[in-house]
Structure 1
C-alpha cells in the first residue's frame, strides 16, 4: 500500500481575498455621471452661473436694497431735461446706479434686471415642469402600449408640432382681459404665459420619451416584472420611469432656455407681463427707441438673456454627456 503523501499544512488552507489599496470599488451610475460631469469644466461653469442666477432671483429684494433702488422708482435728477437721456458717462453708471439709468424716467436698470430675472426664471421653470409632466405621461403611455394608443398620441403630437406656437400665444395672450378666472394683474399674465408655453411645448419631450419607452418595453427586466404579475401602473412607475429619468432630466435643462427666450419674445411684442413690471423682453422693447443715443439701455437686458440661455445650454450639454452610458 502506498503511503499517503505529506502535504504541507500551508497549502491546504484557503486563501482569503486581500483587499489592498489597488482594489476596485463599485460605483453607482450616478457616481459615474458625477465623475464625468466634474471633468467638464465648461459645464460646471454653466452650472455655477445657473445657481447664481437662481440665487439672484430668490434674493432680489435684498440685493436691490443693498446695491440699488426700487425698480419702479423714478429718478428725474439722473435725466437730462432736454435730451431725456441719463446724464454722466456710460448712461449714468456710477456707484449708485451700477448699470446706469433708463431714459426719460431714470429708473435703476440694475434693479429692473434683477427683478426681471424673477419673472423669466419663474415662468421658464413652471412652464418646463408642465411640459415635462405632460410629455412624460404621453410619451410613456404611447411607447409602452403601442398600437392604436401610440398612433393616436403620435398624431396629436404631430398636430401640436405643426401648430404656429408664437401666433397662437400672441392671439391668446392678446384677447385675455386684465381680470379673468378670479385672477388679475401679474399673477394672471404669468399663469397665462406658463399655460401657453408649457401646453404647446410638451410634444418635444413627449417624442423623446416615447422613443426611449419603445426600447425599454422590450428589455428583460420589464418582461420579468410582467411575468411576475406586476400591474401596468406598477411597471410604468417602478420599472420604466426610473430608467427614463436621465433623458428627461437632460432635456428639461435644455428646454428651460427655450422657454426663457419664448417669454422674452412675448414681452418684447407687448403680450407678456404688462408694464411697469420689469421683464427682460419688455426692457428690450423699450430700448429699441433709444439704442442710438442710449445703447446701455439695450445692452444689459440683452446680455442678461444671452448669459442665462448660454449657461443653461452649456450645463445641459455637459449633463447629457455625463449621463450618456456610451460616453467615455
Structure 2
C-alpha cells in the first residue's frame, strides 16, 4: 500500500484569493468576439475574405491601376491586330509589357483595363441588387413570421409566385422594351438601375424564407414575451427585439447571394442585355471571346477567371462566416 498523503498544517485553509493570486482579470467575450475567433481559425474563409477585399479595392481604384500600368479600357490598338485574321499579333493574345493580359481581337482593346473596369460594374450591380433583395426580404420575412395568420399566408404565396417567375425571360423582355431615357436616367445609369431592380426585386424570396423561419422561432422566446408584457408595441418588437437577433443569418445569406448576382449580371451581359458597349463588363467580354473561340480560346481565360475567382472567394467567405456565426450548422 502507498503511504498516506501528508497535509501540511494550514494548507487546507488556503483562501481562494491566495490561490488565484497573480491571475489577471478574466473578461467576458461577446458572441461577436467568439464568432471572430472561430472565423480566424478557418484559413480558407480568411483567404476568401482577403480576395474579396482585394477585388473591392481593385474596383474602387480601377482608374488609378490602369493609369499606373499605362492602359485604358476603350482605346483601340489596330496596330496590334493582324489585318487579315483580325486577331492580335504574337502569341497568347498579344501579351506584352504594355498589355499584361493581351488585347482583344478585331479592335485591340486592352484586356487588363477592361477586366479591372468590369469589376466595378459586376460588383456594383451585385452589391446594390443584394442590398435591395435583403431589405425587402428581411421586412417581408420578419412581418410574415411574427404576425402569422393570413398575413403569413399572403406573403408566403407571394414568395412562391416570385420563385416560380421566369426571371431570365422577364429580364430579356424588360431590358429590350425600356426606352433610352426613363425617370431622368440615361445610358449606363439606366441599365445599371434596371438590372439592379430586376435582380433585387425578384430575388428577395430566397432570403425572405430564411428570415421568416428564424422569426417563427424567435417570436416564442422569453425576451419577446417580456417585451409584450411591458407594453411594447409591435414595431418596437420587430425592429428592436427581433431584428438584432437576425443579423447573423442576414450577413451569412447576403454573402452567399452576392456571387449569385455576379453570375446573373454576367449572364445578362453575355446575352447582350447588360450594360451597353463600350462599357466594360465581364459577361460582354465572354460574349466577344465566344465569337473567336474557334480561332483562339485564350480570350475567354481572363474574364472567365475573373468571374470564377470572384464567385469562389465570396462562397468560401460566406461558408466560413456561416460556420463561425452558427457552429451547429456544420
Matches within 5 A, 1:62-77: 62-77=64-79
2:151 paired residue number: 149
**Partner deviation per Cα, 1:102-151 (whole Å, 9 max, x = no partner):** 11111000000000000000000000000000000000000000011101
Superposed, 1:252-263 pairs within 5 Å as 252-263=254-265
Rounded to whole Å, the distance in 1 between the matches of 2:305 and 2:81 is 23
| Secondary structure of 1:288 counterpart | helix
C-alpha displacement of 1:179: 1.5
Q: Deviations over 1:161-210 (max 9, x none)?
A: 11111111111111112211111100000000000000000000000000
5+ residue gaps, structure 2, are 1-10
> What is the SS of the residue equivalent to 1:163?
coil
Q: Does the CA contact (< 8 Å) of 1:213 and 1:240 recur in 2?
A: yes
Residue 326 of structure 1 deviates from its aligned partner by: 2.6
Q: CA separation in 1, counterparts of 2:219 and 2:290?
A: 53
Name the CA distance, whole Å, in 2 between partners of 1:300 and 1:14. 69
Secondary structure at the residue paired with 1:86? coil
* Residue matched to 2:136: 134
> Superposition pairs for residues 161-310 of structure 1, below 5 Å?
161-310=163-312
Quick check: 161-170 or 53-62, which moved more?
Answer: 161-170
Displacement of 1:325 after TM fit?
A: 4.5
The structure-2 alpha-carbon separation of the partners of 1:94 and 1:81, relative to structure 1 and needing over 3 Å to count, comes to same
TM-score of the two chains, using structure 1 as the length reference: 0.94
Shift of 1:231: 1.0
Q: 1:100 touches 1:296 (CA, 8 Å); kept in 2?
A: no
Which one of 47, 54, 57 corresponds to residue 56 of structure 2? 54
Check conservation: 1:120, 1:260, Cα contact below 8 A: yes
Q: Distance in 1 between matches of 2:289 and 2:180?
A: 25
Which runs of structure 1 show a deviation greater than 6 angstroms over 4 or more consecutive aligned residues? Answer: 10-14
**What do the CA deviations read for 1:55-99 (whole angstroms, capped 9, x no partner)?**
000000000011141111000111111111101121110111010
Distance of aligned partners of 1:294 and 1:12 in 2 relative to their CA distance in 1, 3 Å threshold: closer
Tell me how many residue pairs correspond in the alignment.
321
Contact 1:68/1:111 (<8 A) preserved: no
TM-score (normalizing by structure 2): 0.93
Match of residue 316, structure 2, among 308, 314, 317: 314
State the superposition RMSD in angstroms.
2.0
Q: What's the counterpart of residue 45 of structure 2?
A: 43
Counterpart in the other structure of 2:4? none
- 2:322 touches 2:329 (CA, 8 Å); kept in 1? no
Structure 1 Cα separation of the partners of residues 301 and 13 of structure 2 = 81
Q: Any idea what SS the aligned residue of 1:229 has? A: coil
SS at match of 2:328: coil
CA distance in 2, matches of 1:121, 1:297: 21
